[in-house]
Amino acid sequence: MTILTAEFPQSRLRRNRQDAWCRDLIAETTLSVKDLILPLFIREEDAERDIPQMPGIYRHSLTELLTICEKAQQLGIGAVALFPFNNPGLKCEEGLEALNPDNIIGRAVRLLKERMPELGVMADVALDTYTTHGHDGVIRDGKVDNDDSVKALTEMALILARNGVDVVAPSDMMDGRVGVIRKALDKEGFQHVRILAYSAKYISSFYFPYRNAVGSISCLGKADKETYQLDPANPKEAMREAAQDVLEGADMIMVKPALPYLDIIYRYSEAFHLPIVAFQVTGEYSSLKAAEQNGWIDFNRAMIETLIGMKRAGASAILCYAAIEVAEVLKKQ
């Protein structure tokens, strides 16, 4: 591509950058509070609240959930995404608690839809927080079994829909799950329930704080998820994943983590004409927080810069643990 521009001194690029009003006029990307989705960890009343790896982020009881969601809504945040912390006693090999309509997420979804019907509610579809082995699916003969996992995940998605969730987000990376979930939802009359497919979910060291927050780290032990999550080296495989999810009926596709994968967000936005959601994961949040705590970085500025980067790459929306802090900054601007 040739970029047509006059030569210096006819062209002086700094001319447009002189004053704040003009810089605002020429801004090519904007970050709005309406682009943000707030991820929240939910716990039973008696479970530990603090997450040592995520200063400023807590596991919320159902009462606290209402308080933080009200605050988020007042600031203009339109949607939340829920992740459970399950007490170890609730976990089993098959992750059956995921199929309990009254589990912590089921109760949280019902509470939010009853008390704050205007707030968008998303929930993860994966078994990792419910299984004793910490994998996203079920194990058969020592391996994460694709088709049996899809069966369990489809049941999980249906239960979430019956509880009133607006968006189910399969984060499990099993093959074919989007199509099977779509059909099952439609068959039960849940045509309105959206599917946000985690299409490009890379194996990542940046999930470490999350696995502590939801309590799956000790279950996984030394194991990781390389038989189903994407290799960070592979962009083409990410295109195939998304193409498949799109053909199976995904309403939105996700790239996760976000900052190390801006090229994937960009490729998706060029190739697919449906909304791209970026997930700024726990490790991305915690890295910036740690730098702030050491006095090495201005957290708010760095955070907003990374979010603008995701928007510039082509993301329509961003899951951001700091959404409340960011909303407060944006409000002042």
Angle between helical axes of 323-332 and 62-74 (0-180°, round to 10): 30
Residues 6+ apart with CB under 8 A from 114: none
Q: Which residue number, 186 or 217, has a Cβ lying nearer to ligand PBG?
A: 217
**Residues between 20 and 59 that touch ligand PBG (CB under 6 A):** none
CB 61 within 8 A of CB 107: no
The CB density around residue 301, as the number of other CB atoms within 10 Å, is 10
The minimum distance between CB 217 and ligand PBG, in angstroms, equals 9
Please tell me the number of Cα atoms within 13 Å of 195 on its side-chain side: 29
Q: Which residue number, 97 or 333, has a Cβ lying nearer to ligand PBG?
A: 97
Any contact of residue 259 with ligand PBG (CB under 6 A)? no
Q: Which residue number, 8 or 91, has a Cβ lying nearer to ligand PBG?
A: 91
Any contact of residue 199 with ligand PBG (CB under 6 A)? no
The DSSP string of 159-172 is HHHHTT-SEEEE-S
Q: What is the contact mask toward ligand PBG in residues 150 to 179, using x (rule: CB under 6 A)?
A: ---------------------x--------
Among 211, 267, 289, 311, binds ligand PBG (CB under 6 A): 211
Backbone phi and psi for residue 158, each to the nearest 5 degrees, phi listed first: -65, -40
Q: Which residue number, 63 or 257, has a Cβ lying nearer to ligand PBG?
A: 257
Q: Which stretch binds ligand PBG (CB under 6 A): 7-15, 30-38, 179-187, 204-212?
A: 204-212
Region of 141 (left: φ > 0; alpha: ψ -120 to 50; beta: rest) is: left
Q: Which stretch binds ligand PBG (CB under 6 A): 41-49, 55-63, 203-211, 263-271?
A: 203-211
Q: Which residue number, 210 or 272, has a Cβ lying nearer to ligand PBG?
A: 210
Any contact of residue 97 with ligand PBG (CB under 6 A)? no
Q: Which residue number, 152 or 281, has a Cβ lying nearer to ligand PBG?
A: 281
Q: Which residue number, 146 or 171, has a Cβ lying nearer to ligand PBG?
A: 171
Q: What is the contact mask toward ligand PBG in residues 108 to 147, using x (rule: CB under 6 A)?
A: ----------------x-x-x-------x-----------
The minimum distance between CB 194 and ligand PBG, in angstroms, equals 18
**Whole-angstrom distance between the N-terminal and C-terminal Cα of the chain?**
36
Of 267, 150, 137, 245, residue with least CA distance to 199: 245
Any contact of residue 207 with ligand PBG (CB under 6 A)? yes
List, in sequence order, the alpha helices (H) in the chain.
20-25, 62-74, 104-115, 146-162, 177-187, 208-213, 217-220, 235-247, 262-271, 282-293, 299-313, 323-332
Number of residues that bind ligand PBG (CB under 6 A): 11
Among 255, 281, 304, 326, binds ligand PBG (CB under 6 A): 281
The minimum distance between CB 220 and ligand PBG, in angstroms, equals 8
The minimum distance between CB 94 and ligand PBG, in angstroms, equals 16
* Separation CA 197–CA 274 (nearest Å): 11
Active site residues: 201, 256
Coil, strand or helix: which one is 128? coil
CB 321 within 8 A of CB 315: no
List, in sequence order, the alpha helices (H) in 75-194.
104-115, 146-162, 177-187
Q: Which stretch binds ligand PBG (CB under 6 A): 21-29, 67-75, 207-215, 240-248?
A: 207-215
Any contact of residue 282 with ligand PBG (CB under 6 A)? yes
Q: Is 317 exposed, middle or buried (0-12, 13-18, 19+ CB in 10 A)?
A: buried
Q: Using CB under 6 A, list all residues that contact ligand PBG.
A: 124, 126, 128, 136, 171, 207, 210-211, 225, 281-282
